[in-house]
Amino acid sequence: MLTSSNITPRLGAELDAAIQLKDLSEPEVAELVLLCAERGVVVARNQSLSPQEQSEFAHRLGEPLTFPNNPAHIPEELIVIQAGPNSKHAAGEGWHSDVSSEAKPPGLSMLRMEQVPDHGGDTLFADMYQAFESLSKPIQEFLETLTARHEPRGHYLYLSGAKAFDELETTDHPVVRIHPLTGKKVLYVNDGFVSKINGVSQPESRALLKMLYDHIAYTVKMHCRIAWAPNTVVFWDNRCVQHYAAFDYFPERRKGYRVTIRGEQPIACH
Told to judge if 270 belongs to the known catalytic residues of this protein, a careful annotator would answer no
**Residue in 39, 177, 243, 254 annotated catalytic:** 243
Percentage above 70 pLDDT, the chain:
94
Kindly state the average pLDDT of the residues 206-210: 98
User: Residue 71: its pLDDT value, please?
Assistant: 87
The predicted model scores a pTM of: 0.94
**Residue in 98, 112, 127, 237 annotated catalytic:** 98
User: Residue 167: its pLDDT value, please?
Assistant: 66
Quickly count: other Cβ atoms within 10 Å of residue 26's Cβ: 8
CA distance 98 to 92: 9
What is the SS3 assignment for 244? strand
Q: How far apart are the first and last CA of the chain?
A: 36
Told to judge if 191 belongs to the known catalytic residues of this protein, a careful annotator would answer no
Instruction: Name which of 28-32, 33-37, 68-72, 209-213 the model is least confident about.
Output: 68-72
Question: What residue spans define the domains of the chain?
Answer: 4-268
Told to judge if 215 belongs to the known catalytic residues of this protein, a careful annotator would answer no
User: Residue 68: its pLDDT value, please?
Assistant: 79
Q: Which fold has domain 4-268?
A: Double-stranded beta-helix (3.60.130)
Peptide bond just before 251 cis, omega within 30 deg: yes
DSSP string computed for 112-157: EEEE--SS---EEEEEHHHHHHTS-HHHHHHHTT-EEEE---HHHH
On the question of pLDDT at 129 being above 90, the answer is: yes
User: Residue 239: its pLDDT value, please?
Assistant: 98
Residue 266, Cβ density class (10 Å: 0-12 exposed, 13-18 middle, ≥19 buried): buried
Please report which helix (H) or strand (E) contains residue 79, including its range. strand 78-83
On the question of pLDDT at 157 being above 60, the answer is: no
